[in-house]
Amino acid sequence: MPNTPCGMKSIYDCKLIEQHEVSPGVWLSKLTGPEIARGAVAGQFVNVQVAKTTDPLLRRPFSLHAVDREKGTFSLLYVLVGRGTALLHRYVSGDIISVVGPLGNGFDLGDSPDAEHIVVAGGCGAAPLHFLCDSLCEKWGCEKVTVLVGGKSKDALLCEDEFREHGVLTEAATDDASYGYGGFVTQLLQAHLDKRSDASNLRIYSCGPHGMMREVARICSEHEVQSCQVSLENKMACGIGVCTGCIQKIKKQSQGCDPAWEYKRVCADGPVFEAENIIWE
């Protein structure tokens, strides 16, 4: 597999092994990419050239959903939302796809064996959290991990079976009450945390719609959890920290007349941030 240096990043020609629809409008792709699979940590993403031509010019970012380090493969889970994803889903097995990555920082899994971990997934936010779940189980044991997975309806729940197959306690929430807890996954999180007198050994990880993560951040702050990390999916252009197209306001220690915030690049400084540092707008 040829590989071309691109500054500090690398572009890889990855062979599509298989690609299929896992639920209406949601696709799973499996690709070869030993360097990506072996170098990646949960929460990182790749930037994919969705067509063989230069139109569209910009690559599209997708989280790593799983990696198999031994086989040198990785997978992506994506929703068809526009032209880029429509082009991506037309690739067939054996096609070569240009991929840049792994990019971004990834989740911090902590260093305390006493900590418990709650993963809160909304819609396609389940993609990076699936990889995270693997990593948490490997590092701390699945019995330390709980997954709360939410969607608009039963059909819109992603990775629920896979989370259960990991052996982690998994609870589902649907907005329309068609399955599991009837309500938002954030309400399910609230109920979990309300049951505890002390949440200081809890580490929370979340990815999903912006409003959902903002609510996760609020609940975690109210309960003073040990750590609450969210993976942002701001729109991106270059994906490698050059264009500042993906910036996010992040709190910082104010000095003199300096504002108490600064812009961080989601692609290079994130996509994972401590939720308490984000200025939610």
Closer CB to ligand FAD, 169 or 274, in the complex:
274
User: Beta-carbon neighbour count of residue 162 at 10 Å?
Assistant: 19
With CB under 5 to 8 Å by kind, the binding choice for 60 among ligand FAD, ligand FES, none is ligand FAD
Q: Cα–Cα distance between 107 and 37 in angstroms, integer?
A: 16
Closer CB to ligand FAD, 87 or 191, in the complex:
87
Part of the chain binding ligand FES (CB under 6 A), chosen from 125-133, 166-174, 215-223, 239-247: 239-247
Q: Give the DSSP H/E element, type plus range, for residue 269.
A: helix 266-269
With CB under 5 to 8 Å by kind, the binding choice for 183 among ligand FES, ligand FAD, none is none
Mask: binding to ligand FES, 190-229, rule CB under 6 A, as x and -?
----------------------------------------
Closer CB to ligand FES, 72 or 245, in the complex:
245
3-state SS, residue 20: strand
With contact defined as beta carbons under 8 Å apart, do 102 and 46 qualify?
yes
With CB under 5 to 8 Å by kind, the binding choice for 118 among ligand FES, ligand FAD, none is none
Tracing tokens 């693997």 back to the chain, one arrives at 134
User: Beta-carbon neighbour count of residue 204 at 10 Å?
Assistant: 27
Part of the chain binding ligand FES (CB under 6 A), chosen from 104-112, 135-143, 234-242, 254-262: 234-242
Using rule CB under 6 A, residue 45 touches ligand FAD: yes
Report DSSP state, residue 142: G
With CB under 5 to 8 Å by kind, the binding choice for 271 among ligand FES, ligand FAD, none is ligand FAD
User: Beta-carbon neighbour count of residue 197 at 10 Å?
Assistant: 4
Closer CB to ligand FES, 160 or 233, in the complex:
233
Using rule CB under 6 A, residue 51 touches ligand FAD: no
Burial of 200 (0-12, 13-18, 19+ CB in 10 A): exposed
Distance of closest approach, residue 214 Cβ to ligand FES, in angstroms: 21
Q: By CB under 6 A, how many residues form the interface with ligand FES?
A: 12
Extract the tokens encoding 79. Answer: 């929703």
3 state SS for 160-199 = HHHHHHHCCEEEEEECCCCCCEECCHHHHHHHHHHCCCCC
Q: Distance from first CA to last CA of the chain, Å, rounded?
A: 43
With CB under 5 to 8 Å by kind, the binding choice for 235 among ligand FAD, ligand FES, none is ligand FAD
With CB under 5 to 8 Å by kind, the binding choice for 63 among ligand FAD, ligand FES, none is ligand FAD
Q: Cα–Cα distance between 190 and 180 in angstroms, integer?
A: 16
Binding site for ligand FAD (CB under 6 A): 45, 60-63, 77-79, 81-85, 124, 127, 233-236, 271
Binding site for ligand FES (CB under 6 A): 236-239, 241-246, 265, 267
